[in-house]
Structure 1
């Protein structure tokens, strides 16, 4: 398997694959278009610390008062997925890509998994289940923006999104099961 060590050489266990590098390079090349770069920067900023998704959850809780508790649970699941991503980053400690010029600054040096993608994946599931049908496509755009911005490998984004989807799905099941009485 083509994996890179800390100097970018192929052969390091646990590092990104050569395919990761090639896909990231190809997607990041789209940032040459000013509109694409602008959109990637905007999404990256909006997704810092899960801010966009927390705002969506808060707005849903205010606007949909009959389901306020459901919106707040969905928001908590989304925040939890973001925090889980941050925690895993501290364990895995994979360096961010160095073979492309990043479009944005990042809060940390580590890239696996993408916390932006974890929060986006959780938001897509949790808010989508509440009828916020614009969230899943926006979440997908958020995930793609991390590649365009050059700050994550595709495997970082895929793992982050999977973590978010899993967190929201399991959390929603547990919340629903815990709320039933028999």
Structure 2
């Protein structure tokens, strides 16, 4: 862990650690846990929007694959989560491994796919929101969330390419 990353985490928490923000961050944390929220979105989308069922399936495959890749990388890198006594840890985590952020990974994958589906950049705003929420909760360093977002976007790009090429 670098001192600079801890200082960034402290600055984020000092600026944003309010009851409303923490509640929102915890809600996002539960939504993104084990990719269950995004898999539910993909499932419901596929049921409701039959004309784009294949794209909704791509969303599910992309977020699941991105999440799985992040878990494998965590086990290889084995970076410990933030543990500075000045930090507020606002949520329990399923592991003590930090790099990359699985929440940032699956959210980036979902946001990229949904942005492509809708033709709008607005879904991409979910990525920095999830990244900041992980820092507000004190469970990820900034580089964890950046790496997760990059990994998720990359997986989404591959999933979109495969979906398009196999139509």
TM superposition score normalised by structure 1: 0.84
Residue 145 of structure 1 pairs with residue 130 of structure 2: no
- Contact residue 94 and residue 112 of structure 1 kept, 8 A: yes
Deviations 1:81-115 (A, max 9, x none): 01100110000000000011310000101000000
Higher relative contact order (CA 8 A, sep 6+): 2
Distance 1:178 1:82 in 2: 23
Q: Which residue of 2 aligns with 1:49?
A: 34
Q: Which residue of 1 aligns with 2:147?
A: 159
5+ residue gaps, structure 1: 1-15
Residue 130 of structure 1 pairs with residue 83 of structure 2: no
Count residues with an aligned counterpart.
164
Higher relative helix content: 2
Largest Rg, 1 or 2: 1
Deviations 1:106-149 (A, max 9, x none): 01010000000100010011122111856322333222110000
5+ residue gaps, structure 2: none
Which segments of structure 1 move beyond 6 Å, counting only runs of 4 or more?
Answer: none
Distance 2:74 2:80 in 1: 10
| CA RMSD of superposed structures (Å) | 1.6
Residue 112 of structure 1 pairs with residue 96 of structure 2: no
Deviations 1:152-171 (A, max 9, x none): 00000000010000001022
